Structure formats: structure tokens, C-alpha cells
Amino acid sequence: MAETDAEESEQGPELVERVAAIDIAKASGMVCTRVPHEDKPGRRVQRVWHVAATSGAILDLADHLICQGVTRVVMEATSTYWKPFFFLLEARGLECWLVNARDVKNVPGRPKTDRLDAVWLAKLAERGMLRASFVPPKPVRELRDLTRSRAVLTHERTRHKQRAEKLLEDAQIKLSSVISDIFGVSGRAMLEALIAGERSPRALADLAHGTIKASPQALQEALAGGFEEHHAFMLRMLLDTVDYLTMQIDKLTARITTRLTELSTTHDDRDGDRDDDRPGQGMLMPLTDVERLDEIPGVGPATAQVILAEIGTDMSVFPTADHLASWARLSPRTFQSGPKNTSGPAGKGNPWLRGALGEAAISAARTDTFLGARYRRIVKRRGDSVAELPAGVRDGPA
């Protein structure tokens, strides 16, 4: 601990007696503590100092805060730099709050320095003017890493597939115009044959399986192009990358399934909710969390895994369903000025959860269910983007 100082101030109606705040940067953090004065009732002692963002320095900071009797540590969410401070201090038994940067903006016109930011954050914390962000427990955080990595690799695989299709277009091979998936069994067989040196459109078309709807003549015309050795080299690299990414995605999926089995709690049958078709020796097995979510129209196993990874399995952190929708930024904000009451954009929110719920909404719209019928009724007069929103989000504030 380097630079330190002390400041006394008049004590107001603080809600938290002993607080600490940390303004976090990549390699360090500016710490501010505000505690009652030992000899002068009604006065506060404020100390500000610099702490390196290393494990040893953070653990020393934890010991110091515990000795000072600090009951709450508040820090601003700064990229991923907050994680060492949050997790190490939390592991020492301190109550840590991660707050949204938008909620702790400084007063306009006031100089902005790390020191002043830490003091401002501490003063807001002691007066109960902050809200803690949702930070899931470690098993859920690890599950998040797995599902988000799978999503990133899936997007990357799609990009390489698109590059392969563009390469075929460059070689005047119009295969994607006659079959729906050039990376299916038939398409992949044709691509491998092209790489191996086969150039006869008839021979390539004969590799199609019976499920291909295109006629042999249409396939031969699509495969009659200028595919050369350069295209074969590039296509081989792209296909190898796609295969490697597929293997990595399968590994992630297997690990996600294992982690969810360990994490998800099974439900007992006190409500009589059992699946009569579950396998077993005459015994009905309880549904897992993934299977319960999978019962919702539009939600598949992969989407259910993402939802559980983003919001966890403990719903007690969200008092109501409306709180969860607001946290996910799926409910519009209210703007009121005099008698005028309007709704504004919901905000960015959690892109991983919003993406999964968006896919679920699109899938549910195609089903022959209540949700599908509601979508088809609303889309006629309000459009796709509105019809796919949940009812509370679509209708806006009352």
C-alpha cells in the first residue's frame, strides 16, 4: 500500500457504517474506505490509497478491510479487470457489490480522477444509493464460459462455411443454388471429390443421395465450372478448419452437458409433475432443469443450456419475473414528462441471453401453438420485430 491520507467529514444519515470502494484499472485499483471516527461520534474517517492488481496485494487488502470491520466492498464493472478483486475479496468472506458504470456517473463539471472516483463511489455506497449487479456463483460462471465459447466457435464455423461457399462461386460452382446444405452428406461428398481431382459434372452429380431434390441435370449444370488446383487447396484448408471447429464444439457440448448434470437440481414429484415416457424400470424419473425448459415451445436443449448458464438455477435472486425481464433488458424504459408517458429503448442488456431468447421466439412463431397463433395475429399489424417480443415488452408500460 503506497499513497495514503485521511480526511474527516460530518456524518449524515448513512445506511452502511463501514464501506470500501475500489476504482479499478488493468494493473491497479484505487481504494477508498469510509468508517466511523474512533473518538469523535458523528464523524467519518476517509482513507484513499493505491493497490496493485496482483493476488498477493489483493489478499493483503482483504485482510486490512476485515481488520477495519468493513461490511461492504463496492467496485465498478470495468471490462474484466474487476474479477480478481471481486473473487479474491469474496473468497475472504467480504460482501462484494459489482455496480453498473451508468449508475455511478460522477457529477458533471467535477474533475475525474481515480482518486475522486473512488471517493464518490464510497459515498454513494454508504448512503445506499447503489444497486448490486447479478454475479452468478462459480459453477454458473464456468458454465457461462463454456456456452459462450461454444457460441463463438459456432459463429466462427459459420464464417468459414460462408468463405467456402464464396470460393465455390469464384470457381463458377453453383452448388449452393441447387442444394440447401452444401456441407451435408451429399454436398460434402462432392466437395471432397472436387478436392481429390474429379472434374466431371456427371460423376460429381452421381454422388448425390436420394434426399437431394435437385434433378441430375440441374446438379450437372451447377457443377460445371472452372474449379482449379488453387481452389482445391483453399477449400481443403477451409473444410479442415470447419471439421476442427466442429470437433471443438462437440467437446464443449459434452462438457456443458456434464456440468449441467452436476449443477441442475432435479425436481421431486410433490407436484405430481412426472414424465410418463421417461426410461426406467417401471419408475418415473424427475425432470431436469434443461428438460423443463425444453418443454417450452421454441426452446431446444441448446437454448435451454444457454438460458441456465446466463441466469443460473437459483431464481431467488430475481424477486419476480418482471425483475428478470428488466435485468435482461427485455422491458422498455418509461419516460414521463408532465401528462405524457412514453416508453423508450430497453437497452443492450445481456447479448447472449437476448440472442438465445430471440432464436426461441422465432422458432415458437413457427409452431402450431398459442404462441405461434399469437405471433401470426400480431405480425399482420405490428410487424416481425414487435410480434416476436414477450407480451409485457410488446405492450409497454401501462
DSSP 155-199: HHHHHHHHHHHHHHHHTT--GGGTSS-TTSHHHHHHHHHHHHT--
pLDDT at residue 131, as a whole number: 84
Band of pLDDT at residue 254, cut at 50, 70 and 90: very high
Average pLDDT over residues 210-231: 90
Does residue 132 surpass a pLDDT of 80?
yes
Radius of gyration over every alpha carbon of the chain, rounded to an integer in angstroms: 29
pLDDT at residue 398, as a whole number: 35
Distance (Å, whole) CA 53 – CA 139 = 24
pLDDT at residue 109, as a whole number: 67
Task: Compute CA distances 43 → 5, 37, 68, whole Å.
Answer: 16, 6, 16
Of 314, 287, 321, 292, give the one whose Cα is nearest residue 304: 292
Q: Identify the residue with better confidence: 58 or 105.
A: 58
Pair type for strands 72-76 and 19-24:
parallel
pLDDT at residue 8, as a whole number: 54
Average pLDDT over residues 108-121: 83
Does residue 394 surpass a pLDDT of 80?
no
335 phi, psi to nearest 5 deg: -125, 115
Distance (Å, whole) CA 134 – CA 327 = 9
Give helix 229-263 / helix 138-170 axis angle, nearest 10°.
Answer: 160
Q: Identify the residue with better confidence: 388 or 228.
A: 228
Does residue 236 surpass a pLDDT of 60?
yes
Average pLDDT over residues 256-268: 73
Tens of pLDDT, residue by residue over 13-43, are: 557 889 999 999 999 999 999 998 888 887 8
Q: Which long-range contacts (CB under 8 A, 24 or more apart) does 107-114 make?
A: 114/23, 114/25, 114/30
Q: Which of 51-60, 147-156, 280-289, 310-319 shows the lowest per-residue confidence on average (mean pLDDT)?
A: 280-289
Pair type for strands 6-10 and 43-52:
antiparallel
The three three-digit cell numbers of residue 213, written as one number: 431434390
pLDDT at residue 373, as a whole number: 87
Q: Identify the residue with better confidence: 136 or 277.
A: 136
Does residue 10 surpass a pLDDT of 90?
no
Helix (H) or strand (E) holding 76: strand 72-76
Burial 76-85 (b: 16+ CB within 10 A, else e): bbbeebbebb
Distance (Å, whole) CA 389 – CA 392 = 8
Distance (Å, whole) CA 151 – CA 165 = 21
Band of pLDDT at residue 292, cut at 50, 70 and 90: confident
DSSP 224: -
**What's the helix, strand, coil split of the chain in %, to 5?**
50, 10, 35
Cell 492488481 sits at which residue?
53
Q: Which of 3-12, 97-106, 286-295, 384-393 shows the lowest per-residue confidence on average (mean pLDDT)?
A: 3-12
Distance (Å, whole) CA 157 – CA 150 = 10
Average pLDDT over residues 40-54: 89
Sorted by where each begins, the domain ranges of the chain are: 6-126, 140-260, 296-395
Give helix 301-311 / helix 229-263 axis angle, nearest 10°.
Answer: 60
Does residue 162 surpass a pLDDT of 80?
yes
The contacts of residue 114 (CB under 8 Å, 6+ apart) are 23, 25, 30
User: Are the C-beta atoms of 36 and 11 separated by less than 8 Å?
Assistant: yes
pLDDT at residue 281, as a whole number: 47
What architecture (CATH level 2) is domain 6-126?
Answer: 2-Layer Sandwich (3.30)
259 phi, psi to nearest 5 deg: -65, -40
Q: Which of 76-90, 283-297, 353-367 shows the lowest per-residue confidence on average (mean pLDDT)?
A: 283-297
Band of pLDDT at residue 84, cut at 50, 70 and 90: very high
Distance (Å, whole) CA 387 – CA 379 = 5
Look up residue 109 and give its amino acid: G
Range ranked top by mean pLDDT from 208-212, 308-312, 365-369, 384-388: 308-312
Average pLDDT over residues 309-326: 86
SS3 151: helix
Band of pLDDT at residue 148, cut at 50, 70 and 90: very high
Does residue 210 surpass a pLDDT of 90?
no
Q: Identify the residue with better confidence: 201 or 108.
A: 201
The contacts of residue 369 (CB under 8 Å, 6+ apart) are 297
Does residue 261 surpass a pLDDT of 90?
no
Band of pLDDT at residue 274, cut at 50, 70 and 90: very low
Kindly report the pTM of this predicted structure. Answer: 0.79
The three three-digit cell numbers of residue 358, written as one number: 430471440
pLDDT at residue 264, as a whole number: 67
The three three-digit cell numbers of residue 268, written as one number: 421431486
Helix (H) or strand (E) holding 150: helix 138-170
Residue 93, by phi and psi: left (phi above 0), alpha (psi -120 to 50) or beta?
A: left
